[in-house]
Amino acid sequence: MANHKSSLKRIRQEQKRRLHNRYYAKTMRNAVRKLRATTNKEEATELYPSVQKALDKLAKVNIIHKNKASNLKSKLAKHIQKLG
């Protein structure tokens, strides 16, 4: 157990931040999953900008790595191109 007031506060802050980050990361994963499951090209094309925006925002605040965001966007774009 922590001995200082500041370390107790730090623990509380980290817990809160962790929950916040987990929520947004999970939301992003679900959005990516939904886009990958889509078989209709028009529907996928409509979904892509919102997923792309979410990935960029999470990369900007270091919830996910910027290269991971780029890789996901690239793979999703390829997926949309394959849809006929």
* Whole-number Cα distances in Å, 77 to 7, 37, 39, 55, 83: 44, 13, 13, 13, 10
Which has the closest alpha carbon to 11: 58, 3, 22? 3
- Helix, strand, coil shares, percent, the chain, to 5: 85, 0, 15
**Residues 30-59 pLDDT 10s:** 999 999 999 999 999 999 999 999 999 999
Q: What's the pTM? A: 0.85
CA distance 5 to 80: 52
